[in-house]
């Protein structure tokens, strides 16, 4: 069973603002004195780890922009070559990532919105 992990960007006004913080829900269960909170995380940026890693062994989270390519390589092009935004609710995208011969994280929607093509 895979571990359920999340990431979110630290909000302005907090130490390490703008950086990613990685956490599990167990990290933030209220255990009395000294319990951690998610007050420093921008909730709009929280993404769930989807259980897959890219070709460079980087964990893929919701909101990542991923290039999936493979198939026959001919005249400098792969048979299929698609850039997608990771969304757990889109079965087609999840199947593309899982079955891709090559998969590479090229950015995310929070830091690289220009990578998304309509």
pLDDT tens-digit profile of 73-108?
Answer: 788 877 888 999 999 999 999 999 988 889 999 999
Q: Which pLDDT band holds residue 44 (cuts at 50, 70, 90)?
A: very high
pTM: 0.85
Alpha-carbon span 38 to 87, nearest angstrom: 22
pLDDT score, position 49: 95
What are the extents of the domains in the chain? 6-111
Spatial CA neighbour of 46 closest among 2, 82, 88, 91: 88
Model confidence at 24, in pLDDT bands (50, 70, 90)? confident
Tell me what pLDDT residue 73 has.
78
Kindly indicate the confidence band of residue 1, based on its pLDDT and cuts at 50, 70 and 90.
Answer: low
| Torsion of the alpha carbons at 82, 84, 86 and 90, rounded to the nearest 10 | -90
Q: Cβ distance 62 to 110 under 8 Å?
A: no
């Amino acid at each position: 069973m895979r571990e359920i992990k999340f990431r979110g960007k630290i909000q302005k006004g907090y130490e390490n603002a703008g950086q990613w913080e990685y956490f599990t829900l167990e990290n933030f269960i209220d255990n009395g004195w000294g319990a951690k909170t998610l007050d420093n995380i921008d909730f709009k940026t929280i993404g769930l780890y989807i259980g897959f890693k890219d070709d460079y062994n980087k964990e893929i989270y919701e909101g990542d922009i991923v290039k999936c390519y493979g198939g026959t390589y001919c005249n400098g092009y792969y048979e299929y070559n698609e850039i997608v935004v990771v969304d757990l609710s889109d079965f087609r995208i999840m199947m593309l990532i899982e079955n891709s011969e090559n998969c590479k994280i090229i950015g995310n929607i929070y830091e690289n919105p220009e990578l998304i093509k309509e």
